[in-house]
Structure 1
Amino acid sequence: MTTSLVTDYEHGISAIDAQFHRPRRAAIHLIVEDGKMALVDTGTTSSISGVISTIEEKNLSAEDVHYIILTHIHLDHAGGASECMRRFPNAKLVVHPRGARHMADPDKLVAGAIAVYGKAAFERVYGEIRPIDRQRIIEASDESRIELNGRSLLFIDTPGHARHHNCIYDEQSNAFFTGDTFGVSYRELDVSGIEFVFPTTTPVQFDPSAAHASLDRIMRFNPEFAFLTHYSRISHLHRHVESMHNLIDAHVKIARSAGTDHNGHDDRFTTISSALQSLLLQRIRKHGSRLPEAEITALISSDVKLNTQGLEHWLDHAN
């Protein structure tokens, strides 16, 4: 079943649109195993009403949500976690050990986001983020597992995008829930069933060497699918992993070139963002997309900005 809000896949997996800024930008993944549920990533506080509605439409109960799983704690993935814990009384929060303390005491996380967006914009987009009881938090270390009604979910540590990032392998579907580790892929850019995937180098912990290693680690499982937060299921992973490696290197090359350019380019941010937009537009056209350039630009503009910020931070802190 596919609606404007929900896409149902095999093996009890559904993508719920988090309605983050625009349709189909961020997905919350619901896993149902014989009436018991887990959510992978949460969107923001305002996303949770859509989750509640989806659960009700499936004739399931909020009391049967057993786990809220965060791939990492960036707020487009984790901003709705405290609201989930309030609305789902039997749920445990499962998070990377590096992120757990920020869920129990989110003051620094909130302060950092307010510094970027401003208080009014932060409150409008993310709402209230409350501390989560430490007794309800499970720290998912590398190669740990949880059981959802007998269904095993394996956590592997996948830095590169963030040092507090896990990917979750579901053997039943032979798929990974990859957060941002396997990049970004918007369904509007699909051409003849083939997706376009590109990296996210969002600040402040981009590490290209770790990003390459995490992709290779995922592929050692030979998964059939990856469920990306931005946006949902992709296949053709052996094809996409090569493109991801290539594009990570291309991002790094652009950043390094801008960092050492003495030909009058005073605005490093503008130099990098312009080069990234040109790179992605060229690759999207090569992929076969016939969308108008203005529409492609609108789809990727936020990612270009965030990727540029991440590359600038990496340039300033890599050595």
Structure 2
Amino acid sequence: MDPSRRHQLLAWAVPRLRGSSELESVEVERGRLLAGQERATGGLPVRMVPRFGKRFSVVTEVLKGAAGEFPSYVVTPRGTDPRRTVVYLHGGGYVAGIDPFHVRYLARLATALGARVVLPDYPLAPAHTWRDSHDQLADLTERWAADSEELVLAGDSAGGGYALALALTLRDRGGPQPGRLLLHSPWVDLTTSTPETAAFSASDPWLFLGKLEAYAAWWAGSAADLGRPEVSPALADLTGLPPALMFCGTRDTLVPGCRLLARRAAEAGWDLTYVERPGLLHVYPLLPLIPEARDAWRRTLTFLS
């Protein structure tokens, strides 16, 4: 099935609105990102959710690590006492913070599931690496898994990779586990070991391989850490993980990594359902007003019901 006209319009518009472009230089990109992060005001960007304050309560928890403090937001539909929790790791290449599209999607998910959503605002590269938040987020997720009737661990793009990395850590700890994993176009192999990646990147108007390689190096902190399970979870032992649902389109630089994860999941006997749609953009289930996202939404609610 060909992509819808609405999808094609977004595939043209979104990269332009986001100012997507290939890497100019590592030094220029580092300076641009640090300046943008310095200007960021923090907090939840709720402008895409009508009447957010009347519909949801927000409690901010401060997480403490060796690199300092960072917030985690607990969003709960008002008038509810949820028994289910969704811990969601936001995307953004490990260099960008929470986006209004994330909040819009999670508000819908919280309402549909009658669940609270926990959204950590973890420290970003290039100033920070995975070591500055991984243990704290594993502790946070483990605590919510213990306190909830069921916990869903989810994320998109870099956040999808982070969610899978946390699931591996919790499995290895042997304590409370998430009941299900939900992954939207996850970035699961930061080594870019899949040889098809460059070819797929050539048709991706949003993600550029030069930038992804720089972001991966910053997030890993060293070349030796790029292949670690906490950084590239697709390369890890995948046995013993909870059931998972993963979406990706083929107009996406990350689709070879998703295919690698699906192959390795099958080899490990991990119950992973992979939905791949031809010609669709990165994290298409989060994009507004397209029929492909509505189909992904129905599949997601069926999976989580």
TM-score (norm 2): 0.30
TM-score (norm 1): 0.29
Asked which structure has the greater CA Rg, the reply is 1
Bigger RCO (CA 8 Å, 6+ sep): 2
